[in-house]
Chains A and B, each alone.
Chain A
């Protein structure tokens, strides 16, 4: 059956270039087996993590966000050449914990969360629909739909590739942590995300076909070196919320906000690719999301988020935090990308870093 698995999905992600002293130290440790790494290096990992988060804007910090991204990947499909035992290495987890605590604190400081929402399904759904209501301002979706040139369409796919090639996976962590109505709702959404049992219909595979249609490499992680910290922060937030049972409210709220801001933008993304003459194989991913996410948003807002708030009312602030954090991080990426495009610049990191690695 391996023939049906795309080549790029068989092994872990290729290791990107470190972006600072923390990454360099962590990669150095990951080069060896955990039992080959001595206490001095293990202590240095935690110290380096503390130093890395001590100053600056964590959401834009390349060293911190890329290191978190790689550490999280050990829990998904792994990193090429890295021993699987590192996933549960206590010292590596301690270093990751330092980064996570600072990342979560930065998000909680900066994200504005709606207050005075009652913990019943209808009130929670109403609050989420109000929070995610389409605004009139500039958006990446409108730009892609109407103005983006072909290079910008490729950049758009490159940003998206660090999540969409493992689409739905971070939210799946929440399934065993929920019960009842909310659990059934999450499973209903995720089953659709994973193609309802048909591999070629999995949303991650539809996105791979879009990348192939645009002549891009659909191997997971192929473009991590090109993607700025702010894009990685959006994916890292999902992993943070998904991997901690304590944050199950936040991952449920995150999925709701993600689904609720998807249908209308995806129509515009599809328009952008049609405008440049790409065919249905390339636009299918977007077309699928117009229809799928109009269903998912109802289930996510009412049954998942609303159902969870009714079952575990103490989680309501985190449900709303997760939703607001999703929107906040999406806005940060949007500002970065549109800012660069309006200046006539690339929104990606220079290709030189990737080229140096290849050389």
Chain B
């Protein structure tokens, strides 16, 4: 195995270098989505996506669904029981 092969193998195996989309469940906050994921509504229609990384509402209080608008900070939302 050459050094270059070794480097490629370590990149594939390193959990800090995700090769698949990653979803982060933020404590007391939204779901942050990074990577190539299609976001659609209940009829399968694409939801406009204006940025690479998005935050999906988890508290139900957002004014811009499905995205987070920070309302969870004002409505007492907690993920402690989730």
Query: When the two chains form their complex, are residues B30 and A298 in contact, meaning their CB atoms are under 8 A apart?
Result: yes
Tally the A-B contacts, defined by beta carbons under 8 Å. Answer: 62
**A267 contacts the other chain (CB 8 A):** yes
Q: Which residues of B contact A192 (CB under 8 A)?
A: 51-53
A interface, CB within 8 angstroms of B: 122, 125, 129, 133-134, 188, 191-192, 196, 201, 262-264, 267, 288, 290-295, 297-299, 302
Contact of B73 among A129, A299, A302 (CB under 8 A): A129
Q: Which bucket holds chain B's interface residue count?
A: 20 to 34
Q: Which residue of B lies closest to A191 (CB)?
A: B52
Q: Which of B48-80 contact A (CB under 8 A)?
A: 50-55, 63-64, 67-71, 73-74
Query: When the two chains form their complex, are residues B28 and A129 in contact, meaning their CB atoms are under 8 A apart?
Result: yes
- Chain B binding surface SS class: loop
With the chains together, A244 CA to B27 CA distance in Å? Answer: 33
Q: Which residues of B contact A196 (CB under 8 A)?
A: 51-52
Interface centre among A134, A192, A262, A294 (most CB of B within 10 A): A294
Nearest first, the 5 A-B pairs at minimum CB distance are A263-B70, A294-B68, A295-B55, A294-B70, A290-B69
Q: Which residues of B contact A293 (CB under 8 A)?
A: 70
Query: When the two chains form their complex, are residues A264 and B64 in contact, meaning their CB atoms are under 8 A apart?
Result: no
**B40 contacts the other chain (CB 8 A):** no
Q: Contacts A196-B51, A291-B64, A298-B55; is A122 near B27 (CB within 8 Å)?
A: yes
Query: When the two chains form their complex, are residues A295 and B73 in contact, meaning their CB atoms are under 8 A apart?
Result: no
Query: When the two chains form their complex, are residues A295 and B74 in contact, meaning their CB atoms are under 8 A apart?
Result: no
Q: Which residue of B lies closest to A287 (CB)?
A: B64
